[in-house]
């Protein structure tokens, strides 16, 4: 028998580990850019499962592909080949310009693999175990112990120290800050081309090109975390393609599976040939037929439905409306972001505004205590932006 939302929430609090402060709704289904709770109430979704559901909800062709794969084969392990993994890897290689793919279960796991590849690359050169990694302040790379070690927010790291060692932090868009940290032991520089959790700050073209130059000169691996900013969100399939600054290793996840858990780290041929080999890395579920069938279909639909064209069409309109909103309200200090990954910085904590928006049928998410993040499905339209702005403005005024 179906329980009411209040009962479900009470039961959740008695059985789930309390690591999330959840909103007091139980979501039941989705359609397009809208979600519906168990009472049938509609919500305009500007969260997209935290930048995951790029294609929107209940996409028939996507759903049919998953159903067909479930009827064929869900899992086999990586001791055997499977066609969906091969097809997804071919498509991912084509759109990324990278050479080798390793499928994972999540973005954090992809970052773990990237770190291991960088460490192995450096170890093969000199056999030393004291190589250093430079990451960025205010960055976020995941909750696992390796990904956490390169996350540039002490609040996330401190309760779990000691983490993996020899990690330094520099300032995003400050090349002198990076150069001052480089030593003969530096093996990798890690950053998000657009910071997500850290406040929607894009890396500049000048900064990325300067990083690429120093990495080439010193044989340091440049690693881009495209877990949130990748898969079309910035108006390019991957954010680094905006400036043509190619990494040696790249991670992606989130919208790669549009709801099915899958991630990947990708390497250039040179990096692949001088890092991880048989036995160095593995995963039981990573690259299984079901997850890869999802990624394969997502990549097909991105091209078939011109998803990135829609981002480039709607994103300037979203930016324009957000800036207009900022001009009308002194409580908004700044606009940040690019594409359909944007944010507003407020003078005060944004929790009350987001809570009020939920009550009015709009789902938003923060990026830190004072920033509202806008990461809707990539298929939104201008009228969805207008409706969101209208509700948000009511919440700010109230």
pTM: 0.96
Q: Are 23 and 351 in contact (CB under 8 A)?
A: no
Q: Shortest CA distance to 298 belongs to which of 242, 249, 232? A: 232
Q: CATH number of the domain that 248 lies in? A: 3.40.640.10
- The pLDDT assigned to 198 comes to 87
- Tens of pLDDT along the chain (398 residues) come to 577 889 999 999 999 999 998 999 999 999 999 999 999 999 999 999 999 999 999 999 999 999 999 999 999 999 999 999 999 999 999 999 999 999 999 999 999 999 999 999 999 999 999 999 999 999 999 999 999 999 999 999 999 999 999 999 999 999 999 999 999 999 999 999 999 988 899 999 999 999 999 999 999 999 999 999 999 999 999 999 999 999 999 999 999 999 999 999 999 999 999 999 999 999 999 999 999 999 999 999 999 999 999 999 999 999 999 999 999 999 999 999 999 999 999 999 999 999 999 999 999 999 999 999 999 999 999 999 999 999 999 999 98
Q: Looking at the structure, tell me whether residues 148 and 245 fall in a common domain.
A: yes
Alpha-carbon 146 to chain mean position: 17
CA-CA-CA-CA dihedral for 187, 192, 197, 203, to nearest 10: 120
283 and 385 housed in the same domain: no
Residue where a domain stops, chosen among 304, 320, 351: 304
pLDDT at 70 (0 to 100):
98
Q: Where does a domain end: 304, 334, 365? A: 304
Last residue of a domain, one of 274, 304, 334: 304
Q: How far is CA 343 from CA 192, 216, 325, 388, in A?
A: 16, 33, 12, 13
- Smallest Cα–Cα separation from 199: which of 345, 321, 87? 345
Beta bridge partners of 345: 334, 371
Q: Looking at the structure, do residues 121 and 234 belong to the same domain, yes or no?
A: yes
d(CA 141, CA 143): 7
What CATH number has the domain bearing residue 31? 3.90.1150.10
Domain range holding 351?
Answer: 5-55+306-397
**Main-chain phi, psi angles of 43, to 5 degrees:** -130, 130
Tokens 């409706």 map to which residue? 387
The predicted structure's pLDDT at residue 315: 98
How many structural domains compose the chain?
Answer: 2
Residue 157's pLDDT is: 95
Same domain, 167 and 229: yes
Pick from 166, 278, 231: which is nearest to 379 by CA? 231
Is residue 286 located within the same domain as residue 310? no
Residues 323 and 278 in one domain: no
State how far Cα 163 lies from the chain centre: 22
Q: Are residues 299 and 338 in the same domain?
A: no
**162 and 43 in one domain?**
no
Task: Classify 210 as helix, strand or coil.
Answer: helix
Tell me, yes or no, whether 67 and 40 share the same domain. no
Which residue bears the tokens 């992809």?
110
| 270 contacts 215 by C-beta, under 8 angstroms | no
Q: Is 104 helix (H, G, I), strand (E, B) or coil?
A: strand
Verify that 270 and 335 share a domain, yes or no: no
Find out whether the peptide bond into 284 is cis, omega within 30 degrees of 0.
no
Among the listed residues 388, 254, 233, the one whose alpha carbon sits nearest the alpha carbon of residue 321 = 388
In sequence order, which residues have a C-beta less than 8 Å from that of residue 352 and are 6 or more positions away?
none
Residues 173 and 33 in one domain: no
Q: What is the pLDDT of residue 4?
A: 87
261 and 239 share a domain?
yes
Please report the pLDDT score of residue 1 as a whole number. Answer: 58
């Amino acid at each position: 028998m179906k329980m009411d939302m209040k009962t479900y929430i009470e039961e959740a609090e008695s059985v789930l580990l309390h690591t999330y402060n959840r909103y007091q709704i139980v979501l039941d289904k989705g359609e397009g850019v809208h979600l519906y709770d168990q009472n049938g109430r509609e919500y305009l979704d500007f969260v997209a499962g935290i930048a995951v559901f790029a294609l929107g909800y209940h996409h028939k062709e996507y759903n049919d592909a998953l159903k067909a794969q479930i009827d064929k084969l869900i899992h086999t392990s990586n001791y055997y080949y499977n066609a969906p993994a091969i097809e997804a890897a071919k498509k991912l290689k084509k759109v990324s310009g990278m050479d080798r793919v390793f499928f994972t279960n999540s973005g954090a796991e992809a970052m773990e693999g990237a770190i291991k590849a960088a460490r192995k690359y450096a170890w093969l050169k000199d056999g030393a175990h004291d190589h250093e990694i430079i990451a960025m302040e205010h960055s976020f790379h995941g909750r696992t112990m390796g990904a956490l070690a390169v996350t540039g927010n002490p609040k996330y790291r401190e309760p779990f120290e000691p983490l993996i060692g020899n990690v330094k932090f520099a300032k995003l868009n400050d090349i002198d800050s990076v150069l001052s940290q480089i030593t003969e032991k530096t093996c990798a520089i890690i950053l998000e081309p657009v910071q997500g959790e850290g406040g929607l700050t894009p890396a500049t073209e000048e900064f990325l090109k300067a990083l690429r130059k120093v990495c080439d000169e010193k044989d340091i691996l440049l690693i881009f975390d495209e877990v949130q900013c990748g898969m079309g969100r910035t108006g390019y399939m991957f954010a680094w393609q905006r400036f043509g600054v190619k990494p040696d290793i790249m991670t992606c996840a989130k919208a790669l599976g549009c709801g099915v858990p899958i991630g990947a780290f990708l390497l250039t041929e040179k990096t692949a040939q001088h890092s991880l080999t048989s036995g160095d890395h593995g995963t039981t579920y990573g690259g299984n037929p079901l997850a890869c069938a999802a990624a394969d279909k997502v990549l097909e639909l991105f091209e078939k439905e011109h998803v990135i064209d829609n981002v480039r069409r709607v994103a300037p309109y979203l930016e324009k409306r957000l800036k207009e909103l900022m001009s009308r309200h002194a409580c908004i200090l700044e606009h940040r972001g690019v594409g359909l990954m944007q944010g507003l910085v407020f003078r005060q904590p944004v929790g009350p505004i987001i809570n009020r928006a939920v009550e009015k049928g709009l789902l938003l998410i923060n990026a830190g205590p004072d920033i509202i993040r806008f990461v809707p499905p990539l298929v939104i339209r201008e009228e969805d932006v207008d409706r969101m702005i209208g509700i948000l403005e009511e919440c700010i005024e109230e």
